[in-house]
Structure 1
Amino acid sequence: MIERVKNDILEKLNPIFDEVGKEVEEIFAYKEKIIQNITEYRPNNSLVLSLNERKIAQYFDHTYLKPDCKYENVDKLAEEAMKYNFKAICIPPTFVGYAKSRYQNLLVATVVGFPLGYTFSTTKEEETLRALSFAADEIDMVQNFSMLKNKQYRYVIDEIIGLKKACGEKCLKVILETSFLTFEEKIISSILAYCGGADFIKTSTGFSDKGATLEDIVLMKMIFWDRKVKASGGVKTLDFVKELIEHGIDRIGSSSSCQIVDEFNNS
């Protein structure tokens, strides 16, 4: 699968750069680096073999983004995150101030333009600045995949550039929502996010009909080899988590984090 994905990306890369570059000329400055990333990509099973309870827990953004979120859900999530030593919690933006006031040492991620991605860029920037004013540590932003599908590549990358500027040193993750994208659109999204300065790209909101797949992770990690990729949506089993880690995942968003770590500890 890896060689097939690599060859398919490389085959489509020149036509993609020619098309997107008409509107976004600066991507050509990154072309050589992206090709290098693709060719250098390698899975690493030693990452799985060296896992322990602390290491596997640090892959997880323990997540609750359901529309029925209550303060007690945030408390439970935060307490579990501290118990298991998860990397972060990911919660709706209106709960960020509450979480940071009660759990100051906990990394808190939140979402912007969520879950459909087609709000105005200025709205996303205001959401981001508001979340940061409540001390959010990381921003998971849904790209405007409606504009992407309309080939409005300048719009897509300018939005990412604007949000990264708003984030400053704080981490920006761009959610591609891969279930709505063609193979070519996944490549284009990854390239635009890379050139726009995103720290991470992320598969899914968890609100579409399909979440993270191993093939999508391989594609995204090939382009983001020297940056980071987050898998989210439908990550519920230890076996899948091990596959993701072997193939280069840097972070995993899941509401099943506790069960997965428990399964690891009991295996």
Structure 2
Amino acid sequence: MAYNIKNSKELASLINYTNLNNIITESEMKEFLNKAKEMNFNSVVVSPTYVSLAKKILEGTDIKVGSVIGFPLGFEDTESKIASAKSLNEKGVDEFEVVLNISYLKDEKYDLLENEIRQIKEVIGDKILKVVIETKALEDYEKANAAKVAENSGADYVKTATGFVSPNHIFENVNDINIIQKYAPKIKIEIFGGITNYKFANQILTGGADIIGSDQGYEIVKRYKDLRENTQVTPKPITL
């Protein structure tokens, strides 16, 4: 059964429109944020550099501002990640994405991982915390353990990739979703990486993801809108 999207507004609300390009100029970021403003996205995800600009441009909209901690490798020490979380919180970030320390995961240092995530969650309070786990670099049992760590630590979401190495086949993505749902049933799931069109987005949502991250969010929603909502028909009056 396909996921039943009712309209482009609902589709946009299931997408975190992302731009973590590290060589982007301010004028290009303004263009990205103004495009985001046209749609009903759940959030934009930008680098810490552009959080203040995003808050300013998106003021008065329902679009949340997300940003990243320890991106993209996750190997900063815990103190640095906590300091980053505090700084982003002060800037008004709504959704925080922390990249998991994969070295700790590979070494099964679950107490260090849980301690790190828990402390970040304490800093941000009721705001959304996502743990990015980079599934393409993990064995299935490691994905399961990473998801359990995230859930045990009070995180709200597991996000499957930074986008640098990510599954881009639906079967890989659904396998990741199945593992996370089985071993961390309370946590929500965001799939990121390689989602460039409505068909793939729909497959991911049908497969059980709660939300999608995509740097092609605007194009996905616009194409859907053009296809589904811009058909103009003037019926002739019916005479009996």
Aligning the two structures, in what range does the TM-score lie when normalised by the shorter sequence?
0.7 to 0.9
Q: Structure 1 residue 208: deviation in Å? A: 2.1
Q: Structure 1 residue 228: deviation in Å? A: 1.2
Alignment of 1:44-63 (within 5 A): 45=1, 48-63=3-18
Larger radius of gyration: 2
- Which residue of 134, 140, 143 maps to 2:100? 143
- Aligned equivalents of 1:210, 1:49: Cα separation in 2: 24
Residue in 2 that maps onto 1:216:
176
Helix, strand or coil: the match of 1:159?
A: helix
Residue in 1 that maps onto 2:231:
none
Q: Over aligned residues, Cα RMSD in angstroms?
A: 1.7
Q: Note if 1:228 corresponds to 2:188.
A: yes
Residue in 1 that maps onto 2:53:
98
Q: Note if 1:69 corresponds to 2:69.
A: no
Alignment of 1:17-36 (within 5 A): none
Q: Structure 1 residue 218: deviation in Å? A: 2.5
Larger deviation, residues 124-133 vs 73-82: 73-82
Contact kept in structure 2, 1:176 and 1:186, CA below 8 Å: yes
- Aligned equivalents of 1:222, 1:81: Cα separation in 2: 34
Q: Structure 1 residue 52: deviation in Å? A: 1.5
The letter of the residue matching 1:219 is: I
- Aligned equivalents of 1:225, 1:167: Cα separation in 2: 23
Map Cα deviations across residues 45-95 of structure 1 (whole Å, 9 max, x no partner).
46x224321111101111110111222232122212221211110000121
Contact kept in structure 2, 1:217 and 1:244, CA below 8 Å: no
1:125–1:80: structure 2 CA closer, same or farther, 3 Å change rule?
A: same
Residue in 1 that maps onto 2:147:
190
- Which residue of 152, 162, 165 maps to 2:109? 152
Q: Structure 1 residue 116: deviation in Å? A: 0.2
Alignment of 1:71-86 (within 5 A): 71-86=26-41
Q: Structure 1 residue 262: deviation in Å? A: 2.6
Residue in 1 that maps onto 2:219:
259
1:103–1:183: structure 2 CA closer, same or farther, 3 Å change rule?
A: same
Helix, strand or coil: the match of 1:230?
A: strand
Helix, strand or coil: the match of 2:129?
A: strand
Alignment of 1:99-114 (within 5 A): 99-105=54-60, 106-114=63-71
Q: Structure 1 residue 253: deviation in Å? A: 0.9
Helix, strand or coil: the match of 2:126?
A: coil
Q: Structure 1 residue 251: deviation in Å? A: 1.5
1:226–1:150: structure 2 CA closer, same or farther, 3 Å change rule?
A: closer
Contact kept in structure 1, 2:135 and 2:166, CA below 8 Å: no
Map Cα deviations across residues 218-247 of structure 1 (whole Å, 9 max, x no partner).
222334443311111111122221111112
Query: What is the total number of aligned residue pairs between the two structures?
Result: 222
Residue in 1 that maps onto 2:236:
none
Which ranges in structure 2 are unaligned for 5 or more consecutive residues? 229-240
Which ranges in structure 1 are unaligned for 5 or more consecutive residues? 1-44
Residue in 2 that maps onto 1:199:
156
Map Cα deviations across residues 73-124 of structure 1 (whole Å, 9 max, x no partner).
3212221222121111000012111221332233100000000001001100
Contact kept in structure 2, 1:228 and 1:250, CA below 8 Å: yes
Contact kept in structure 2, 1:173 and 1:199, CA below 8 Å: yes
Contact kept in structure 1, 2:98 and 2:132, CA below 8 Å: yes
* Identical aligned residues as a percent: 28
Larger deviation, residues 127-136 vs 215-224: 215-224
Residue in 1 that maps onto 2:43:
88
- Which residue of 192, 209, 228 maps to 1:249? 209
Q: TM-score, structure 2 length as denominator?
A: 0.87
Contact kept in structure 1, 2:5 and 2:11, CA below 8 Å: no
Residue in 2 that maps onto 1:237:
197
Map Cα deviations across residues 121-180 of structure 1 (whole Å, 9 max, x no partner).
110010011011111111011011111101111111111111111110111000011111
